[in-house]
Amino acid sequence: MKLEICSRLPYTIEDIVNGLLLLRHEQAEPRVTYIKRKHASDHIVHEMQYQTHLLLVPFVGQQIVMREDMVVSGNTLVVKTYGENYQTKAYPYMITEARYVQGLQGTDCTLTVEWAISKHKLSKIIEDRLNNFGKKQYADIQQRELAYIQQYVSNKQ
């Protein structure tokens, strides 16, 4: 399964990076613990310990460890999150990639989520429910991210 969501943010790449880092520093994402593993000006790595949501049936009750890479290059930020199952395409797996590209009218964000629960095809109803759940989760996450980006912008002024 693959899902793509696009949005535009009224912030610079620098503000977005620093807002996301503030959110991670304050551990403000529910069910997620961020542990910084590397911090260079162009590459930041976090280990994410994630307590799974009740609706994600194959993962229920599991503590999943994922890697988050934030790569900054000029007017682009790429935030890629994945677990070890993704590397081998072992089921279940998930990867998210948020690509932020700064332009004249703000910064465009394209979120791509790829996931597979099993090698067997899911029914259309289950697939739709999972996609709708993912879209709602992303909307909630983006609201928290925007709040922390705005908090960073307000603090720097």
Residues 6+ away with beta carbon under 8 Å from 109: 6, 7, 8, 9, 98, 99, 100
Query: What is the C-alpha to C-alpha distance for residues 128 and 78, in angstroms, rounded to an integer?
Result: 27
Look at residue 126 in the predicted model and tell me its pLDDT: 74
Q: What is the pLDDT of residues 24-36, one digit of tens each?
A: 999 998 888 999 9
Helix (H) or strand (E) holding 13: helix 13-25
Q: What is the pLDDT of residues 6-30, one digit of tens each?
A: 999 999 999 999 999 999 999 998 8
Residues in the chain: 157
Query: What is the C-alpha to C-alpha distance for residues 112 and 90, in angstroms, rounded to an integer?
Result: 19
Which tokens is 22 given? 């503030």
pTM for the complete prediction? 0.85
Look at residue 39 in the predicted model and tell me its pLDDT: 96
Average pLDDT, stretch 42-65? 70
Is the model more confident about 129 or about 48?
48
Q: What is the pLDDT of residues 110-152, one digit of tens each?
A: 999 887 776 777 677 777 777 787 788 788 888 999 999 999 9
Query: Is 155's pLDDT higher than 80?
Result: yes
Q: What is the pLDDT of residues 60-90, one digit of tens each?
A: 456 678 899 999 999 999 999 987 776 777 7
Query: What is the C-alpha to C-alpha distance for residues 150 and 62, in angstroms, rounded to an integer?
Result: 33
Got the DSSP string for 52-120? Answer: PPTT-GGGTT-EEEEEEEEEEETTEEEEEEEEHHHHHTPSSEEEEEEEEEEETTEEEEEEEEEEES-SS
